[in-house]
Structure 1
Amino acid sequence: MADQRAVHLVRRPGRALSAEDGVGALLAAYHLRTEAEKGTPVADPDGLPDRYRAEVSDPGAAFADDVVLVAVSGGTAVGCLVVTAPVDGRSEIKRLWTEPAFRGRGVASELLGAALAQATESGADAVRLSVWAWRTGAVALYERFGFTVVESWDGRDHLVCMERAL
């Protein structure tokens, strides 16, 4: 019998996402946690800023031109990551999230490794991302994968911008 907690990755063009993919629920958890960490907690996705609520309600439209990587265990989505199409030779990684019960098992590392492969396949020369400074575990993960801090392209306080050449 297969281990129901085993995780495999699925790569989906953003426009091909459906409600059954579970990505909307993962994005909701990601954004709700982020808003709470920023000191502006909201009770449910309806309280999220419009931009984030749109991602949760229709990830297929929000990420139509991107590739979404989904970690699946026992038929349930337990992690996700978005890789944008290259612009000026650079892809961006967004929305890395792993369900808390699956943390510490290498899911985020698998998603990140697959994202770098996707960016390479799509012709990117570099990958960039931004991460909140208080997410020290995520910053350390990105550093292990060769990302370095670069000058910010985003004016929000406490946001760390990182990049890695491919």
Structure 2
Amino acid sequence: MTDRAVAVRTAVFPRDTATVSRLAAAYHSQTESEKVERALTDGDAPLPERYAREIAEPATAFHGRRVVIASVGDDDCGMVVVAATPTGTDVSRLWTTPDARGHGVGAALVTAAIDDAAVPVRLSVWEWREPAIRLYRRLGFEPVASWDDREKMVCLERR
């Protein structure tokens, strides 16, 4: 991937269904593989239903949330999901394709997610995803007490 401009847009369904499905599938595949490597889940276990639905039916699974897609040229190479909550904003499912990493795609997605977002903006991330944690910290997120009962999760908040 070249260092061309990153464009972001809000997904429109059904037009972006295939793109969001592909990116969500890559995100969940990588996440489940990392969890197996760390003995947090069984490699033979099926993908949890709510994750499988994000891949099969993203418009339904993400209903009421904003899905932001990043592209470089004609390549849709990243996504993030943003949800307004009664107390602020939740950000989840940040994903960039491996060849898009290091080219500003993740930063563009997170910036689009937090631009005009109600604060606090909250997210959780697996502790081994150090590049993502560095990105979040660079964009003003700070560690907070965990609200997530899953082992190895880091919770961050931006006020």
Q: 1:104 matched to which residue of 2?
A: 102
Q: Percent identity?
A: 43
Q: 2:112 matched to which residue of 1?
A: 114
- 1:29-108 aligned at under 5 Å gives the runs 29-39=26-36, 40=41, 47-88=46-87, 90-108=88-106
The answer to whether structure 1 residue 163 and structure 2 residue 143 are counterparts is: no
Superposition deviation, residue 6 in structure 1: 4.4
The answer to whether structure 1 residue 139 and structure 2 residue 133 are counterparts is: yes
Distance 1:20 1:55 in 2: 10
Question: SS in structure 1 opposite 2:103?
Answer: coil
Tell me how large the CA RMSD over aligned residues is.
2.3
Q: 2:6 matched to which residue of 1?
A: 7
Q: 1:24 matched to which residue of 2?
A: 21
Distance 2:114 2:84 in 1: 12
Gaps of 5+ in 2: none
Distance 2:145 2:77 in 1: 32
Question: Does the aligned pair in 2 maintain the 1:24–1:59 contact within 8 Å?
Answer: yes
Distance 1:19 1:47 in 2: 26
Question: SS in structure 2 opposite 1:155?
Answer: coil
Distance 1:19 1:110 in 2: 19
Superposition deviation, residue 96 in structure 1: 0.3
Gaps of 5+ in 1: none
> What TM-score do the two structures reach when normalised by structure 2?
0.87
Residue 25 of structure 1 aligns with an amino acid whose one-letter code is R
Superposition deviation, residue 149 in structure 1: 0.8
Question: Does the aligned pair in 2 maintain the 1:22–1:76 contact within 8 Å?
Answer: no
Deviations 1:91-150 (A, max 9, x none): 10000000001111000000011111141xxxx121000000000111111111111111
Distance 1:91 1:17, change over 3 A: farther
Task: Kindly tell me the number of residue pairs found equivalent between the two proteins.
Answer: 154
Question: Does the aligned pair in 1 maintain the 2:8–2:109 contact within 8 Å?
Answer: yes
Question: Does the aligned pair in 2 maintain the 1:21–1:77 contact within 8 Å?
Answer: no
